[in-house]
Chains A and B, each alone.
Chain A
Amino acid sequence: MITNRSFRLRLTFWSLSRRRSRLLVALTGVTAGATVLLGLLTLCYDLPRQLGREFRAYGANLVLVASGTGRLTVSDIQKAQALWPENKTVGVTPFRYESVRNRLRPYTAVGTDFEQVRKTSPFWHLTGKWPEEPGELLVGADIAENTDLKPDSFVTLDGRNKKQERYEKDFRIVGTLATGGPEDGFLFMTLSDLEQMTGETGEADLAEVSLTMDEAALSALTGIIKSSISGLEGRLVTKVTYSETAVLSKLTYLVYLVTLVVLALTMICVTTTMMTVVLERRKEIGLKKALGAESSRVGREFLAEGLLIGVLGGLLGSLGGLLFSRIITISVFGRALMPQFYLIPVTVLVMVLVTIVACRAPVKKAVAVDPALVLRGE
């Protein structure tokens, strides 16, 4: 037996299912709107972090040094690493500098971890290969150009350690390094080679740290480092942190503003689409009124339809929006972003509000008009 309640549901259902082309129009509009909405909201949420990670291309933003004179120990660096979250770490590279000689000419030899260097200084330009085996050496571009320390040649480096003991070691040059900075005038080897050569282990002059943190978080971190590890000091690479803060805040602002503009326009677009769909049905509203339906009742029926379309379009659009933001982050940053699932109900809610607002005005207008005017056939 059909009751009034079920008849009402059926009215809504038929109105949607038997007017498929119109439903499609409304649904497409709402879905497109929801796609843009969720896509942009997700991006807004994630973009500052994604961009922050891109800015790590500028290299280390924190340098660990010994707070007094002298060197820091490798174990201190390891201790410091426990002070910041693992997932914010891009890389930690120790550097140790030694004065060495080759055939009486002085050079600066740098011992480091090349695997980490590639993370903290992605801008280093290498010709040849990275040292992997013991006894492999990189030369700076200026040295390669101006001396006979050329790639694929063999060199012997010698020097004296702190105890004034003389050391000597043979190396094969496996590549040249160009950075445009002071590195162009250094020799690079693995830290273990340098330790083995000098006979002094466990020390470094500094460690470059690249963290996905902003300036404020990094300054807070330097305080923590100072108080928890004695003899170790963290210093901000101001050039990197300051500029990153300036540029990143503008970029984030840009994305927010673009989002705002796009969203405002899209929502108006959805509203006009919904309005068109409702406007088409003015006659139907007039008829229902002529049959003796209360205005409020007719209004409620239309709002119920709008609600359904809003929910349906919002859900479909949420899928689209996740795809939208995924396409952008994957193709731009090469990383998938974490979908923010709580944004889905927000999207659906917004779309429902938009459709209801869009339905309200024309329906209100239509029910306010005398049914006679609507029915006269114009």
Chain B
Amino acid sequence: MLLKMVLKAIGRQRRKHYLIALTVGLGVSLATAMLGVMFDVGDKVNQELKSYGANLNIVPKGASMLGELYQTEDTAAEAENVNQENFIPEKELYKIKMIFWAYNIVDFAPYLSVPVEINGQKIILTGTWFNRHLKLPTGDEVDTGMTALKSWWKITGSPGDDGDTSGLLVGRDAAGRLGLKPGDSFSAKAKGKAVDLKVRGVFDSGGPDDGLIFAPLSLAQELSGQAGLVERVEVSALTTPENELARRAAANPGSLSRMEWDTWYCTAYISSIAYQLEEILPGARVKAIRQVAESEGAILTKIQLMMILLTVLTLLCSALAISNLVSAGIMERSVEIGLLKALGASDLSIMFLVLLELFLVALIGGVIGYLIGLGLAQLIGLTVFGASVPVKAAVIPLTCLMVLAVTTVGSLPALRSLLKLEATEVLHGR
């Protein structure tokens, strides 16, 4: 009987219910889209921030200081005392893609510098992977290298090619100093050996790299006589903004309790990724490049906070609109409710009846709104980031809860005022 009454009421007030369902649907689609984007915006922006390049620097433990310290010094002196401990084996590098957070490693590139003499001038030649295809023991295949890592480089001429072992990329300043331009061929001397090289392209990095020359790693290894070795690796990893725990762990991992340590290890903090890299590359030290690591943390946190606030405030407004409409819907039912009262219905049963009816309508609107919201989230993800937004499962219960709460809360004031009405008062033709 109750169901019959509810269904009848819904059928009769069709236009009204269209509007309530429409508004609830709009609210839900808004909630779904905003929550979906909110949960995902961190990942997406993180991905975008990777254009700032590497945030981790892997150096051999023994040479970690000297290599960089002597950069402004006469490097020839240092090059004399080759020491195996000052290098990382190239064949170990694939392990970088096999740590716990392997999927968060976006890119990495090894470096090996060797001083060379070109046109009678001394300059540092750095060997690297421009774009290397790696096959992992896990069966995965990845492409990695410096080209992707330094996306901001503006190259005139051709980009670097690992296969072209005599082709160089020359920095803008170096090219100016040596008088080189793309396509030039010349002879260089390294450790007394002469080698024929050519310029593939000239790059503008807007930074200190402009004074360097980049070559395929194998060339640098051959020139320096350090076959199979690299002296430095830059890694770009997706990380979670640092928090108190991460800062403590970074200072001293031993200070954490067992549970804290687990949490830290299983979160993509820059410090835990650095720790894991040190685990798989013994003899290496992993440093966070703070310019990138710190700043992306700061920006990510802000953007997430902004999206959360935006979502909350927008949801509040749409909740207001829905509850508003719901209460208008109930107020309009005063005559019917008066009648039910006159027939002896209890307050509770009237409330139940009205709410049941509302929920049915809200449910229909909510389901449609959810689907629209999914679409909107995808629209935002695809147009802004060019990638779909996976809507987290948490969004469904959250929106359900919201609709339930909003509909109930929205109808309470109206219900209360209706229940206060005397049956006669209502029926007496208002």
Q: Is any CB of A less than 8 Å from a CB of B in the complex?
A: yes
Chain A interface (Cβ < 8 Å from any Cβ of B): 21-22, 25, 28-29, 32-33, 35-36, 39, 43, 51, 54-55, 57-59, 97, 99, 106-108, 121-125, 142-143, 145-147, 178-182, 184-185, 235-243, 246-247, 250-251, 253-254, 257-258, 261-262, 265-266, 268-270, 272-273, 275-277, 279-280, 324, 327-328, 331-333
Structural contact, A54 and B69, CB atoms closer than 8 A: no
Structural contact, A257 and B320, CB atoms closer than 8 A: no
Given contacts A35-B317, A57-B299, A276-B19, contact A238 B207 (CB under 8 A): yes
Structural contact, A277 and B328, CB atoms closer than 8 A: yes
Structural contact, A258 and B34, CB atoms closer than 8 A: yes
Chain A residues positioned under 8 Å from B26 (CB to CB): 265, 268-269, 272
Structural contact, B299 and A55, CB atoms closer than 8 A: yes
Structural contact, A59 and B295, CB atoms closer than 8 A: yes
- Determine whether B168 belongs to the interface, using a CB cutoff of 8 Å to chain A: no
Structural contact, A180 and B288, CB atoms closer than 8 A: yes
Given contacts A269-B318, A273-B328, contact A179 B313 (CB under 8 A): no
- Contacts of B1-38 to chain A: CB distance below 8 A: 15-16, 19-20, 22-23, 26-27, 29-30, 33-34, 37
Chain B residues positioned under 8 Å from A25 (CB to CB): 324-325, 327-328, 331
Taking the closest CB of chain A, its distance from the CB of B291, in whole angstroms, is 5
- Contacts of B152-191 to chain A: CB distance below 8 A: 152-154
Taking the closest CB of chain B, its distance from the CB of A309, in whole angstroms, is 13
Structural contact, A261 and B30, CB atoms closer than 8 A: yes
Structural contact, B309 and A327, CB atoms closer than 8 A: yes
Chain B residues positioned under 8 Å from A179 (CB to CB): 289-291
Structural contact, A266 and B318, CB atoms closer than 8 A: yes
Structural contact, B328 and A242, CB atoms closer than 8 A: no
- Additional pairs, 13, CB under 8 Å, beyond known A239-B53, A247-B51, A265-B30: A33-B321, A58-B295, A99-B72, A122-B298, A123-B290, A145-B65, A179-B290, A181-B291, A185-B68, A238-B206, A251-B48, A257-B384, A276-B20
- Determine whether B408 belongs to the interface, using a CB cutoff of 8 Å to chain A: no
The A contact surface, by secondary structure, is: helix
The B contact surface, by secondary structure, is: helix
Interface centre among A59, A251, A262, A269, by most chain B C-beta atoms within 10 angstroms, is: A269
Residue of chain A at shortest CB distance from B331: A21
Taking the closest CB of chain B, its distance from the CB of A145, in whole angstroms, is 7
- Determine whether B113 belongs to the interface, using a CB cutoff of 8 Å to chain A: no
- Determine whether B57 belongs to the interface, using a CB cutoff of 8 Å to chain A: yes
Taking the closest CB of chain A, its distance from the CB of B390, in whole angstroms, is 16
Chain B residues positioned under 8 Å from A268 (CB to CB): 22, 26
Given contacts A142-B64, A181-B291, A269-B27, contact A32 B325 (CB under 8 A): no
- Determine whether B293 belongs to the interface, using a CB cutoff of 8 Å to chain A: yes
Structural contact, A333 and B302, CB atoms closer than 8 A: yes
- Determine whether B248 belongs to the interface, using a CB cutoff of 8 Å to chain A: no
